Amino acid sequence: MAGVLGVPDVKIIKFLAPLFYANCTVLKDRIASELLHRFAMPDSFRWRALVLCFATVSSVDTTAMQALEEAVAECHAQHVPLLIASANALVEDSFASAGFVATLGGPGFMYRRVHEAVRAVLLHHLPPLPGAAGGAGRQRADSSGSIEAPAAVGGAGAGAGAAWSVHSLASVCRCCACVPAAGGRAVAGPTVVAMRDRPPADPVSPPAGAQPS
């Protein structure tokens, strides 16, 4: 998409609704779809971390928590860390009560803002994944010969029930200037896949900086 720059190694998904039993498969199936697409890429083009922006997720119920745990397991099977960014206090309490922070790999996979999560990925500041001995270096060393292909997406939430749009990071966080340069390239505006549990009334993507409805 013209005008949108991608940060190497990072995939960002923003969910634009509370996460509960009726819509959690939308997010889970999208993650599975992204992993399947990633697996088909040459290793040099694969993104290495997934960031879920929960800035507009007001709550997470127990069914959605189970779906998130399954999504984390799918990511970790490909040696892909899953990070949570911008969760509110209620969601953080739900994560803590369910032991979900430990499922992620510890508090080092929870961030207040998206750009902080991106920064941790680009600077290799992530702790080791659960069961991984080599930390960030192990995560970057995965190859198609060492992992199994993810299962195909078959959930109902993967189809027309979800609306997708792409924005620059400015529409999520206005502090993207804090993201450092990586590999000698300026880092600005990682690609964000924003999703709703139902199609929005206006199919036109909002301009950068606009607040989601």
108 within some domain: yes
The domain in which residue 175 lies consists of 10-142+149-193
Distances, alpha carbon 19 to alpha carbons 24, 60, 185, 190, 191, in Å: 6, 5, 36, 24, 22
pLDDT digits 0-9 by tens, 83-135: 999 999 999 999 999 999 999 999 999 999 999 999 999 999 999 998 765 44
The first and second tokens of residue 27, run together, are: 């997010």
Residue at 207 is within a domain:
no
What is the CATH classification number for the domain harbouring 129? 3.30.750.24
Per-residue pLDDT tens digits for 9-63: 899 999 999 999 999 999 999 999 999 999 999 988 999 999 999 999 999 999 9
115 occurs within a structural domain: yes
Decide if 117 is inside a domain: yes
**CA atoms in the 13 A half-sphere facing the CB of 41:** 15
22 located within any domain: yes
Structural domain contains residue 202? no
Give the per-residue pLDDT at 132: 65
CB atoms within 10 A of CB 195: 19
Taking CA 18 as the corner, what is the angle to CA 164 and CA 79, rounded to the nearest 5 degrees? 65
User: Is residue 127 in a domain?
Assistant: yes
Q: Give the count of domains, the chain.
A: 1
Chain segment 189-200, per-residue pLDDT in tens: 344 555 555 444
Residue 49, in any domain of the structure: yes
Three-state SS at 116: helix
Within 13 Å of residue 45, how many CA atoms lie on the same side as its CB? Answer: 7
